[in-house]
Structure 1
């Protein structure tokens, strides 16, 4: 290393339009981002010329854009991209493979998906003037069928995402547990699972957990819901961090996670916090999270920054050009309906959804420096994405001097013990 490694990171890039020519706001952001050695972004769309088949399920919107939007991602200066998201297989294997091809043709370092689990979980390495940086990427939000599969001795692996699965257990009182057992005995809610165990298609249940359909309950106090990481996924991620730690000066982990605490989207799920701490303990130097399309708090754990969500950098989910019949059928629209018709109905004609949530349209760009693995500085630069504009124009980022964004982030970060100073020029600084 010849000096401290500087890093910046953007949240979700749900990009579906080309950047306007001679956009001064984009030039300002490009200049800012170019100062950092590491310039991370989360790629929230598949990028291809309809080279995939629409999946029967999607991340909400079937996220597809023409590959040339990647040239605009490159214009901003990003050099490290996450691919493990809840949209990665919106267009199944064809869309996944085409996106990977177009991304790598443009020279991005890219992680989180692959032809099999070994590829999807492998670190991506970025060479910088001040040191080598590794990134491992995963997602906790995805359809079960999208999980990348391991290679067999005589069969190929399955393309997909590097998964961060989790278990959910609902803790209830003894009286509630007995009531649930009675429900299970009096109904056929567990009939399929019970028969599968008898016939050997499922292993017998372990421990004192009661399954009720797809939900698991256990007796305990206090009552509530707890989630914890899937043991195999946790182990694989830890081993990849330990491997990368021996091969690079800094190790980053990208986590795409929509899961929340209760019904509060601004609070990360318990398993998200647990795995972030575990991976820092294993050697990760920064955790960069994204997914819920809003900001979440920042934590400094053992001197390493954990960004629980960086919100959006580019958000244009209302200007996709194509949607499969499944989307139209979901909103009771026939084959004569257009994409604009479907988007109108989904948003109740602009009265609900992400488009009317102001938190979706404000975020921050962090800029931090690490030397010999230690955090030495962390600054925060607010951005806004055009909340008041029509849906076909909003979604491009610009620097903002609105102190409300940083005050909001202060409040979100306070439970983690993080102190954010807001400077008169509208930027923020995390006290190290």
Structure 2
């Protein structure tokens, strides 16, 4: 019997510390058990570049020495389709890519010197299974996405419409509708179809969504995800929102809308987080968000400490098993994979059930050891119901 190919996948990673290996010391053994381990690379790693040329409110840059620690932890697949990829300009963008390319066994994708390079997939082969990876980004400041002759990340842009619900009632909040950018959607579907003809399994990484909003999904995310699966994608891995989002099973394929943070160092200047405009913005994004000084390098709301890690098994060219395990970030910004016996495990599971139900997604979550198996509730009911003949016989 053939052995499965094991894939481990997590959300946002931004390492920036003097001893970078320490951020992974509670999880590196589990990461290395996988044949392939994926992470979303959130930050720039460069000494070159200009200071915040984009005007981004929270530019992210770490010392290049941190890059090797990501590889040493066991990661060998990395998406750089990030809304921070151009925070310090083109030179820092290119320097970051070069540092990752020097890490033994590392595959970086989702960004490049032009659009064709940014859209280029990574294909790996293991135990007779051919697996392809693509990565795209929807959170795009000006000039962050690649074009025919411009460097950047592979775009999955979205358009926004504000629909007035009561024209005769000035000031009434509008309905917000988002939908995929036509050209980007066409490119992504073409990429998936072309890749599917070369591999057995296609895994698509999407940096997207509404950050810090509990459970809420933008309509463009749902449209991108389902059309990607219709085109041949087998798994959708979502991130960016710094908070967990629902899991949906569509046509038997998993959509992880938001895996949240995994390992994340973030620093602010003293007093910066106490500025009135910063406080107002935090409260608007996530009510109750206060800065906890016990988490000096993780200035996010309490819910942002929760995350999940995805475990995939691929056998005979098919995804044979999908599980996920709750994670938690501690006061040192270190992630920890939770065990079913821990109260935090139950907290994360309850949170996932709540936010998934809030979006009217019919996914069931069942505990399997220290992991969770997700299944479509309708499919579960159909599988457990007797057939017509069985009902008559009864």
Q: TM-score range by the shorter chain?
A: 0.7 to 0.9
Tell me how far apart the structure 2 counterparts of residues 245 and 18 of structure 1 sit (CA, whole Å): 42
Q: Which moved more, 1:35-44 or 1:307-316?
A: 35-44
* Equivalent residue number for residue 37 of structure 1: 35
Report whether the alignment pairs 1:65 with 2:14: no
Instruction: Please say if residues 248 and 255 of structure 2, whose CA atoms lie closer than 8 Å, have aligned partners that are also in contact.
Output: yes
Tell me how far apart the structure 2 counterparts of residues 309 and 109 of structure 1 sit (CA, whole Å): 22
Deviations 1:193-227 (A, max 9, x none): xxxxxxxxxxxxxxxxxxxxxxxxxxxxxx72211
* Equivalent residue number for residue 313 of structure 2: 369
* Equivalent residue number for residue 176 of structure 2: 225
Tell me how far apart the structure 2 counterparts of residues 60 and 41 of structure 1 sit (CA, whole Å): 23
Return the index of the structure with the highest Cα Rg: 1
Report whether the alignment pairs 1:355 with 2:299: yes
Tell me how far apart the structure 2 counterparts of residues 30 and 42 of structure 1 sit (CA, whole Å): 16
Q: Secondary structure at the match of 1:288?
A: strand
* Equivalent residue number for residue 226 of structure 2: 277
* Equivalent residue number for residue 397 of structure 1: 335
CA RMSD of aligned residues (A): 2.8
Q: Secondary structure at the match of 1:146?
A: coil
Normalized against structure 1, the TM-score is what?
Answer: 0.74
Tell me how far apart the structure 2 counterparts of residues 258 and 60 of structure 1 sit (CA, whole Å): 17
Match of 1:95 among 92, 111, 116: 92
Instruction: Please say if residues 9 and 37 of structure 2, whose CA atoms lie closer than 8 Å, have aligned partners that are also in contact.
Output: yes
Instruction: Please say if residues 6 and 312 of structure 2, whose CA atoms lie closer than 8 Å, have aligned partners that are also in contact.
Output: yes
Q: Secondary structure at the match of 1:142?
A: coil
Normalized against structure 2, the TM-score is what?
Answer: 0.81
Match of 2:355 among 405, 408, 412: 412
User: How many residue pairs get matched?
Assistant: 352
Q: Residues 131 and 376 of structure 1: is their aligned pair in 2 closer, same or farther, counting only changes over 3 Å?
A: closer
Report whether the alignment pairs 1:82 with 2:74: no
Instruction: Please say if residues 297 and 413 of structure 1, whose CA atoms lie closer than 8 Å, have aligned partners that are also in contact.
Output: yes
Q: Unaligned regions of 5+ residues in structure 2, if any?
A: 280-288, 293-297, 377-394
- 5 Å-filtered alignment, 1:251-290, equals 251-259=202-210, 264-290=213-239
Tell me how far apart the structure 2 counterparts of residues 173 and 40 of structure 1 sit (CA, whole Å): 42
Tell me how far apart the structure 1 counterparts of residues 100 and 300 of structure 2 sit (CA, whole Å): 31
